[in-house]
């Protein structure tokens, strides 16, 4: 089995739904779905393996295919290189798009999921969308600023477990919330540098 990522340029952040439409158009052979961009060829040349490009001197997109057992390792490199070259990256397996902006408040923050995705400096839309992908096959989502703090969530039978840790003060708290929207709001607020979500629930120390 293989794992595929699609990379192209967008002038503004796009939704995962729009990215899915573009991806389907590209897979169907509609090379006019996105505009040519010099950074696409540079991105492909920077990867240490072959990448599928459409014909032409200035390709509009790249399709990156990898073995499933290397997906976690290779995807992180693809995400980072796409950002470096001013390109969005669409993950059709998870239905997630990696935009260039807006970013969170903590340089180097990592988004980690239970199905193996690791993204350094995720955009805020990706943070919110990734939370919604939790399932038995993807049993947690976490945002981590190593050495300082993190927020993590996992699905439960009647809702979600939400955890927050302040590593500097060595304090970790946990609560239960009923809806995924509450988790999404907490994650996005945390990524933006806010902490008011800590005032909205009853927490117990762990």
For residues 86 and 114, membership in a common domain is answered with no
For residues 182 and 204, membership in a common domain is answered with yes
pTM comes to 0.94
> Domain end: 81, 99, 117, which one?
99
Per-residue pLDDT at 172 exceeds 80: yes
On whether the CB atoms of residues 95 and 21 are closer than 8 A, the answer is: no
Q: What pLDDT does residue 68 have?
A: 86
Q: What pLDDT does residue 56 have?
A: 80
Cα gap 89→79, rounded to integer Å:
6
- Which of 65-79, 119-133, 160-174 is predicted with the least confidence, judged by mean pLDDT? 65-79
Cα gap 120→142, rounded to integer Å:
12
Cα gap 144→142, rounded to integer Å:
6
Strand partners, 61: 8
On whether the CB atoms of residues 67 and 89 are closer than 8 A, the answer is: no
For residues 29 and 118, membership in a common domain is answered with no
- Beta strands 61-67 and 2-8: pairing type? antiparallel
């Amino acid at each position: 089995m293989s794992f595929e990522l699609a990379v192209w340029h967008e002038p503004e952040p796009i939704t995962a739904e729009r990215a899915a439409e573009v991806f389907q158009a590209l897979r169907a052979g509609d090379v006019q779905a996105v505009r040519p961009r010099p950074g696409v060829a540079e991105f492909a040349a920077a990867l240490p393996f072959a990448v599928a490009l459409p014909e032409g001197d200035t390709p509009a997109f790249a399709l990156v295919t990898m073995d499933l057992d290397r997906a976690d390792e290779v995807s992180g490199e693809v995400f980072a290189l796409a950002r470096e070259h001013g390109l969005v990256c669409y993950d059709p397996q998870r239905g997630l798009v990696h935009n260039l902006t807006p970013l969170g408040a903590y340089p180097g923050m990592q988004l980690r999921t239970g199905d193996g995705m690791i993204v350094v400096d995720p955009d805020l839309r990706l943070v919110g969308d990734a939370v919604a992908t939790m399932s038995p096959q993807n049993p947690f989502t976490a945002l981590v600023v190593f050495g300082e703090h993190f927020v993590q969530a996992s699905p439960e039978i009647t809702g979600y477990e939400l955890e927050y840790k302040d590593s500097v003060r060595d304090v970790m708290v946990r609560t239960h919330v009923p809806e995924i929207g509450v988790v999404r709001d907490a994650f996005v607020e945390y990524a933006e540098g806010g902490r008011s979500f800590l005032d909205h629930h009853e927490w117990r120390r762990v």
